[in-house]
Structure 1
């Protein structure tokens, strides 16, 4: 919206521009909501209970090996990488066509076995993440307690279930099948959740123990077996017969217990600096909104004249430019040429 400044020399026949205070208020107050809309693993809430899943942050992997029923002997390996705290990073120097787009929290990379020691890339499936800049889709995390589940199997279990959305395959274009992940965090006081963990910091091929549909029997680095387990991935029919690709994972950890204690040095919410920035932003926004309302009702101001200290705000770029010039001249000094100045 283009804003015009009104002055006493302007003809009264010129219609002044109007700045909607309601629109201005909505713009200022909506920004903090957009910032906090993403998944915050430090404070996951479900029915009044709060969980700190930040110790499980970082990329973790599970594998799924399947054989096509219509083509016996043809095997596909899919590596699912999940980071519940941050978006997954691309591999440095890697092929971007073989990775999920920026903003992905859960990604599945499928490869076809061409020989005993070689695989061929097939596709990368973005399961869940925030893609507001790409196509407006977001993770829309939904959390419920396992004891409130409709499944009889989960009613006696302690923990929480997270439904994470945002993914689509193919990702580009309007067509494609929506993706989502259902991760069950099951309370287990004897596990940190990192037992048998495999991160994505190495690019190794799968070995013989990965050649099963579910890897919950694999020992990994612990005799307890892996805490993060692949359950299944398949297309499911949901509302009105719509097909959705659903990845199901189980994660046993003490951090899913309702009486879990926070780790030393971990925070169950936003830090002081984050709150300071948000409060400062709201104070400035309130000052601008109230000042604009006051100028509108008391003086009938329009456009830039609505803002308190509007002249000063318009002069800020010039003030900064002049300040930068003074700093540059000070750092540069009087020059290296000596002797007398010319008369």
Structure 2
């Protein structure tokens, strides 16, 4: 009887924690499923940093955006723990202010943008995926890939004598960018199902954009690029927008198809069974 009661208590506890766990563990990068389409973004499970520089003589602000949409960010060892991104962060901004006259430097602000903060004073990650091919937005017409919207961040803003909490969020657009081999394979497939005239409209992409300095950009180590677009107030939220050009966002990606064949049980599944 005791073991039966213990089982019921464990099951009840699991159900009580289920909503919180569901919010905290909803991004499985190895198998992102949107409208029955599967994408394997597991290769992008890494911590990336982008930065912007704003000059306000005699000071210069360097804002570093740390990003890992797959799991919480690692703690930094080069700064004070109180100035670091809070635990559970997936996207966070730290602004370092340097005075060019007296050559002093300080961390002016740390902004938690997206993460699982529901156990502290913020909100939940609440990730939302959009498949660009089926999006109703005019700007998405003709595009292939995914859009990920993440929430949870909150930041105190001061305007004069007034202070208010402003919600934060991050939007990452994963745009299909095929490698030369994949582009060739895609072109061959189109030749088999379309007329030659239609196929001539297929271009190799926008390789000349690599030198574009409209936003800070880094190589993701897998043939793709991650670019800062903007970090601005948008009504209810302050929104960070990023663009990620990657082969893993292509719907016919070989990597994505292979990942769908080998599934595995996640941590949450094991928790319920136990």
TM-score in terms of structure 2 length: 0.69
5+ residue gaps, structure 1: 1-21, 192-211, 238-242, 282-343
Look up the match of 2:229. Answer: 231
CA shift in 2, pair 1:67/1:268, >3 Å: farther
Q: The residue matched to 1:262 in structure 2 has which SS?
A: helix
Partner of residue 310, structure 1:
none
For 1:184, which of 144, 167, 173 is the aligned residue?
Answer: 173
The equivalences for 1:42-121 within 5 A come to: 42-68=30-56, 74-92=59-77, 94-115=79-100, 119-121=105-107
Match of residue 246 from structure 1? 239
8 Å contact from structure 1 (residues 42, 269) kept in 2 = no
Contact 1:65–1:213, Cα closer than 8 Å, also in 2: no
Residues of 1 paired with 2:261 and 2:69: CA distance? Answer: 15
The answer to whether 1:123 aligns with 2:124 is no
Distance 1:133 1:33, change over 3 A: closer
How far is 1:85 from its partner? 1.3
Secondary structure at the residue paired with 1:137? coil
Structure 1 pair 230–29 and aligned structure 2 pair: CA distance change class (3 A): same
| 5+ long unaligned stretches in structure 2 | 1-7, 158-162, 181-212
Residue 153 of structure 1: CA displacement? 3.1
1:117-156 equivalences under 5 Å are 119-135=105-121, 137-156=123-142
The alpha-carbon deviation at position 139 of structure 1 amounts to 0.4
Please, what is the CA RMSD of the aligned residues? 3.6
Aligned residues: 227
| Change beyond 3 A, Cα 1:114–1:275 | closer
Question: Offset of 1:258 from its aligned partner?
Answer: 1.1
Q: Equivalents in 2 of 1:102, 1:85: separation in Å? A: 14
Compared CA separation, residues 254 and 60, structure 1 to 2 (3 A): same
Equivalent residues in 2 for 1:153-168 (5 A)? 153-168=139-154
1:204 alignment partner in structure 2: none
Structure ranking higher in strand proportion: 2
Q: What are the superposed Cα offsets for residues 25-60 of structure 1, whole Å, 9 maximum, x if unpaired? A: 765434445434322222222222222211101110
Return the offset for 1:125. Answer: 0.5
Question: Which one is further off, 23-32 or 56-65?
Answer: 23-32
Distance 1:185 1:259, change over 3 A: same
The equivalent residue for 1:35 is: 21
- Matched with 2:196 is none
Q: CA deviation at 1:99?
A: 1.1
Tell me how far apart the structure 2 counterparts of residues 221 and 256 of structure 1 sit (CA, whole Å): 14
| SS of equivalent to 1:170 | strand
Q: Deviation of residue 24 (structure 1)?
A: 9.2
